[in-house]
Amino acid sequence: MTIKELHKLLQEGGILEDQYFLHGLFGSADNNDKIGLTIRKGQYGLEYETYYKERGEKHSLRTFTTEKEACEHIYKKLIDEQTLYRIQKIVGLRWLRVDEPSIQKIVN
């Protein structure tokens, strides 16, 4: 998967562009308070860095050596986040934890 393909999948999945930053190519114009992916030159070639940036600091930082792995990671994170949000909106389930057996039955 490429960054362009990731962007298309996110659009098709209903993920709003203001929720992610894809190296300034797609998604939000800035990377603060959202999940991001940036490309940088590493010691042995290009590296793809994924993170969540909040108040100017990167958290949950992961580095990948392939674009495909980084894009798959970002896709899973955003889809999981959207799924959790949708589950929490269901009346009566807002305060349940995702790992509770009753939620697992709904998700699976």
- Residue 36, Cα to own-chain centre: how many angstroms? 7
Which residues fall within 8 angstroms of residue 78, CB to CB, at 6 or more apart? 10, 13, 15, 19, 20, 35
Does residue 74 fall inside a structural domain? yes
Q: Which domain holds residue 62?
A: 3-82
Does residue 105 fall inside a structural domain? no
What's the number of domains the chain is made of? 1
Q: Of residues 71 and 27, which shows the higher confidence score?
A: 71
> Per the structure block, which two tokens stand in for 68?
């495909």
Mean pLDDT, rounded, of the chain: 85
Residue 24 has pLDDT above 90, yes or no: no
First vs last C-alpha separation in the chain? 25
* Buried-exposed string 30-64: b where 16+ CB fall within 10 A, e elsewhere: ebeebbbbbbeeeeeeebbbbbbbeeeeeeeeeeb
The whole-model pTM stands at 0.76
Does residue 107 fall inside a structural domain? no
